[in-house]
Amino acid sequence: MSAKERFLKKLQDSQPRSGSFDNKGQADIAQFRQRMSELQENMEEWLTDTGIEVESTTVSLVEFLIGGKSFSVPGIQLKYDDRKVKFTPVFLYGQGVTGCVEASLCTQGGVTVLCRLFMQSGENRQWTWRPANAFTGPGGMFGEDAFFELVERLLP
């Protein structure tokens, strides 16, 4: 190894690593937060010039698999007239996924759970979805088409 290579390696080793975490739980929380922010950016892009408001919320979760610690994750709220569709994070670990979000329709008549979105981890960065209260059956990738089918319920 040349003197330059040793110097650069030593310099790199001495600098704090961005994105380094003490444990997998912290890394998964950071990824959940980031993916929720990316999902909101997609929604804002998809809803450009529709008159539907996209707002951030903050949701506090407790995960017992990482010591029962509390942490916050961004939620998303879509508003149209007096109706809302809320995307609320509900858990980090469970059902074979890392990250779950519940989508619900809020009207003056009450709250109706529409579906759950599941964050896929690792190489597959897609969100998947399942209808409310369905552990098997139809569902699939959550993209622009699935999004518009879901938010169609905002319209009276």
pLDDT per position as a tens digit, 128-149: 999 887 665 557 899 999 999 9
pLDDT in tens, 55-67: 999 999 998 878 8
The residue range of the domain holding 150 is 34-154
Is residue 13 domain-resident?
Answer: no
pLDDT in tens, 9-26: 666 655 544 456 677 888
The predicted model scores a pTM of 0.81
pLDDT of residue 16: 46
Pairwise CA distance, residues 63 & 38, whole Å: 22
pLDDT of residue 109: 86
Got the DSSP string for 64-91? GGGTSEEEEEEEEEEEETTEEEEEEEEE
What average pLDDT does this structure show over 101-119? 93
pLDDT of residue 11: 64
CB 51 within 8 A of CB 78: no
Q: What percent of the chain has pLDDT over 90?
A: 56
Q: What is the tally of structural domains in the chain? A: 1
Is residue 29 domain-resident?
Answer: no
Is residue 124 domain-resident?
Answer: yes
Residue 110 has pLDDT above 90, yes or no: yes
CB 98 within 8 A of CB 121: yes
Is residue 130 domain-resident?
Answer: yes
Pairwise CA distance, residues 150 & 105, whole Å: 9
Sheet (strand 140-142) strand order: 53-63, 69-80, 83-94, 97-107, 110-119, 127-131, 140-142
Is residue 63 domain-resident?
Answer: yes
Is residue 61 domain-resident?
Answer: yes
What average pLDDT does this structure show over 95-117? 91
